[in-house]
Amino acid sequence: MKKLFLLAVVAFTFSCSSDDSPGTNPPIVDPTDTEPTEIAFARGEMNGVAFDYTFNNAADDTFLHNSINGYSALDLDRWYYYGGMFMQLAPPNFTPEFSIAWDNVYFGQGGSSDGETEAFYESVSNLPTNYLTIAQDEEHLPGISVQFKNQQDVLYNSVYGSQTGSTVEILGSSESMAGGLKRKTVWGTISCKLYNSDNVADVIELTDGTFKMILTEYSN
């Protein structure tokens, strides 16, 4: 399966509690929770150590925030995914890196992104709640994946092991446009397990996680 990651100007996130089986949420209904004032952030603890990747577009920002959007493709069939990425400004490797993505949330044919554009708000308002396994992703089933790369360039991802007990919850969302592209901002909470891609016995527990991210529609 081929994956393209395109850096844009925004990002996105997810919904309710999770297990290891694929599924989708009912449409998101915005609660009364006030939208956080920060532009975007991901916070929490990894194995009990606090992390805070916050983007406020201020001169003293330490972190760069971008969105990832794109598609998984087999011939002319496309399974679109969206996500948010945070990278510490520490050249040359720009690590640590943290991202949340919803894979295979829209299926289209014919090599065109037009249908994805028309269906964007509907697609991102019915997000999958399950954490994907590698096998499920290869079958192009919808789901969530969370990824972390530490300063030593060791890659951890939620797809490499069980996510029993892991959760995702939306607390609120809003819609907007930027540069002619549709956007959906989502904020909420998350907990999950991140497995070393080279040694699955090495596991990071992400707990007490909170986020605010902005998804953007795919753009060629």
pLDDT in tens, 3-34: 333 332 223 333 334 455 544 443 344 444 68
Phi, psi of 107 (to 5 degrees): -110, 130
C-beta separation of 14 from 172 below 8 A? no
For residues 155-172, average pLDDT: 93
- Polymer length of the chain: 220
pLDDT score of 114 more than 80: no
Q: How confident is the model at residue 45 (pLDDT cuts 50, 70, 90)?
A: very high
Q: How confident is the model at residue 111 (pLDDT cuts 50, 70, 90)?
A: low
What pLDDT score does 25 carry?
A: 44
pLDDT score of 115 more than 50: yes
pLDDT score of 56 more than 70: yes
Tokens encoding 174: 């809003």
Contacts of 211 (CB under 8 A, 6+ apart): 13, 41, 42, 43, 84, 100, 186, 187, 188, 189, 190
More confident residue, 80 or 131: 131
For residues 122-134, average pLDDT: 87
Q: Strand (E) positions, 153-202?
A: 155-157, 167-178, 181-196
Q: State what percent of residues in the chain have pLDDT above 70.
A: 78
What is the overall mean pLDDT for the chain?
Answer: 80
DSSP 93: T
Q: Rounded distance, CA 182 to CA 52, Å?
A: 27
Phi, psi of 134 (to 5 degrees): -60, -45
Contacts of 37 (CB under 8 A, 6+ apart): none
What pLDDT score does 75 carry?
A: 65
Q: Rounded distance, CA 127 to CA 155, Å?
A: 25
Q: How confident is the model at residue 76 (pLDDT cuts 50, 70, 90)?
A: low
pLDDT score of 206 more than 80: yes
What pLDDT score does 11 carry?
A: 32
DSSP 76: T
What pLDDT score does 67 carry?
A: 80
What pLDDT score does 157 carry?
A: 97
